[in-house]
């Protein structure tokens, strides 16, 4: 990728400040009086990740010390004498003088600029020195694991091997920052978000549809809230083009996910489909279901009669009250991108996607998989 055009530091600072606040690129462009394409190119080059600000090392010679060295040389002082004044090792002063022209040509400002420039030389990246780790990360990304899941899994799998440790931020930088280029950029397509670079995410508002005779989430027992007992689920619909939908239900304790094919959003389609799936569960996993305010569960009484599962409804515009399901729906967008038609998937295909998702490690489970946790619960 072509390096973006030079830009003054003040404008760069404004770009990063506004970008991290979630300001749209067009608005950032207006603030700095640049075309939106310029802002886009700059952010894309850096992968949406602010470059680390360079800071002079604590033990590095400062410009003031170099000026003292220059004065000492002009007065004919010895290297050892100058070192004593600065409380530095004579070898440090000797190296400084010799690599900057010697006693005859040493200039403080030129030496300081040269030292700063030499400090910019490329440093070796972790993955470039560890091809085994790089190939393993490549494989897991191809399996749709997130960088954070990979990091946690590595800690569990190689607890005594420091060489097999990497932070999720290093993986993201290797994917997005063009100057690194250690991981194939095609692997970005396996991330939950397929953006060209990272940026702040908003939230989507919930619906506020009234439900007749629905039990409020505020009346839900505390044992559900603290996830102490398995068998309590959260559910919702994800939507696609052409009025297509998939019902998603997630068990709160284990994060185990079930996907249900539905023919439409009407309650006459959704309730029977959910009931067919949930009646197949073991009794200890059939306790409650928390749903949003959508009218697709208007016939919730029929669902409860068929499954013996109590239904609780969230407050209007409060998607965080079923946060486990909201997060899972975000993960599912890797498999069902927004704008795609969901009616083309059979129940068998949905089961395969759910199986894939349930065998991905989760940070909240100590990087075990939902399938692992469900197996432990059922033992």
Question: What CATH number does residue 100 fall under?
Answer: 1.10.10
Same domain, 184 and 285: no
In sequence order, the 6+-apart residues with CB closer than 8 A to the CB of 109 are 63, 66
pLDDT tens-digit map of 240-273? 998 899 999 999 999 999 999 999 999 999 999 9
Euclidean distance between CA atoms 280 and 186, whole angstroms: 40
- pLDDT of 72 above 70: yes
Looking at residues 300-311, what average pLDDT do you find? 93
Same domain, 31 and 168: no
Give me the sign of the Cα torsion angle 49, 53, 54, 56.
Answer: negative
Same domain, 314 and 171: no
- pLDDT of 100 above 50: yes
Secondary structure, 3-state, 97-163: HHCCCHHHHCCHHHHHHHHHHHCCCCCCCHHHHCHHHHHHHHHHHHCCCCHHHHHHHHHHHCCCCHH
Same domain, 363 and 234: yes
Q: Does residue 275 form part of some domain?
A: yes
Average pLDDT, the chain: 84
Q: Does residue 364 form part of some domain?
A: yes
pLDDT tier at 125 (50, 70, 90 boundaries)? low
Average the pLDDT over each of 68-72, 99-103, 174-178, 352-356 and give the range with the smallest value: 174-178
- pLDDT of 289 above 50: yes
Which of 190, 223, 240 terminates a domain? The answer is 190
The residue that leads in pLDDT, 205 or 331, is 331
What is the pLDDT at residue 204? Answer: 39
What is the pLDDT at residue 210? Answer: 53
Same domain, 114 and 134: no
Q: Checking DSSP bridges between strand 215-216 and strand 257-261, what pairing results, if any?
A: unpaired
What is the pLDDT at residue 273? Answer: 96
Q: Does residue 350 form part of some domain?
A: yes
Which of 190, 206, 226 terminates a domain? The answer is 190
Q: Does residue 269 form part of some domain?
A: yes
Q: Does residue 333 form part of some domain?
A: yes
Same domain, 269 and 330: yes
Residue 194 is encoded by which pair of tokens? 């397929």
Same domain, 355 and 265: yes
Q: Does residue 105 form part of some domain?
A: yes
Q: Which domain holds residue 23?
A: 9-45
Same domain, 37 and 179: no
- pLDDT over 70 percentage in the chain: 87
What is the pLDDT at residue 202? Answer: 40
Same domain, 267 and 366: yes
Same domain, 270 and 340: yes
Q: Does residue 52 form part of some domain?
A: no
Instruction: Match 């894309």 to its residue by tokens.
Output: 44
Residue 23 is encoded by which pair of tokens? 């300001």
Q: Does residue 243 form part of some domain?
A: yes
Which of 102, 118, 134 terminates a domain? The answer is 118
Same domain, 280 and 369: yes
What is the pLDDT at residue 122? Answer: 54
Same domain, 22 and 82: no
CATH number for 287: 3.30.420.10
Q: What is the dihedral of CA 56, 57, 63, 66, to 10 degrees?
A: -150
What is the pLDDT at residue 312? Answer: 93
**CB-based contact 145:153 (threshold 8 Å):** yes
Looking at residues 85-101, what average pLDDT do you find? 92
Domain count, the chain: 4
Looking at residues 353-371, what average pLDDT do you find? 94
pTM of the model: 0.53
pLDDT tier at 35 (50, 70, 90 boundaries)? confident
Contacts 24+ apart (CB under 8 A), 116-120: 116/56, 119/54, 120/54
């Amino acid at each position: 990728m072509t390096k973006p055009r030079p830009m003054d530091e003040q404008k760069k600072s404004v770009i990063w400040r506004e970008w991290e606040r979630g300001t749209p690129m067009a608005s950032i462009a207006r603030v700095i009086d640049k075309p939106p394409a310029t802002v886009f190119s700059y952010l894309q080059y850096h992968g949406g990740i602010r470059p680390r600000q360079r800071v002079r090392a604590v033990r590095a010679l400062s410009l003031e010390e170099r000026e003292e060295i220059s004065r000492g040389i002009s007065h004919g002082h010895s290297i050892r004498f100058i070192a004593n004044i600065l409380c530095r090792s004579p070898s440090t002063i000797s190296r400084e003088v010799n690599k900057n022209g010697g006693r005859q040509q040493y200039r403080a400002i030129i030496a300081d600029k040269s030292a700063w420039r030499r400090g910019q030389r490329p440093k070796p990246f972790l993955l470039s020195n560890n091809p085994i780790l790089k190939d393993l990360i490549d494989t897991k990304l191809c399996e749709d694991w997130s960088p954070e899941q990979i990091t946690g899994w590595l800690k569990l799998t190689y607890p005594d091997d420091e060489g097999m440790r990497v932070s999720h931020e290093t993986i993201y930088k290797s994917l997005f920052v063009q100057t690194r280029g250690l991981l194939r950029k095609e692997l970005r397509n396996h991330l939950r978000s397929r953006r060209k670079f990272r940026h702040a995410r908003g939230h989507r508002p919930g619906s506020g549809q009234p439900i007749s005779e629905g039990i409020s989430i505020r009346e839900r027992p505390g044992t559900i809230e603290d996830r102490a007992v398995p068998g309590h689920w959260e559910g919702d619909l994800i939507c696609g083009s052409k009025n297509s939908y998939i019902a998603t239900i997630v068990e709160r304790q284990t994060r185990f996910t079930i996907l249900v094919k539905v023919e439409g959003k009407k309650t006459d389609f959704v309730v029977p489909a959910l009931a067919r799936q949930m009646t197949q569960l073991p009794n200890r996993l059939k306790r409650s279901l928390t749903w949003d305010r959508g009218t697709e569960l208007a016939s919730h009484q029929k669902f409860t009669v068929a499954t013996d599962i109590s239904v609780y409804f969230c407050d209007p515009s409060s998607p965080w009250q079923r946060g486990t399901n909201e997060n899972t729906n975000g993960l599912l967008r890797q498999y069902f991108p927004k704008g795609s038609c969901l009616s083309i998937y059979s129940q068998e295909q949905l089961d395969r996607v759910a199986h894939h998702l349930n065998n991905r490690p989760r940070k909240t489970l100590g990087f075990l998989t939902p399938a692992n946790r469900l197996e432990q619960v059922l033992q």
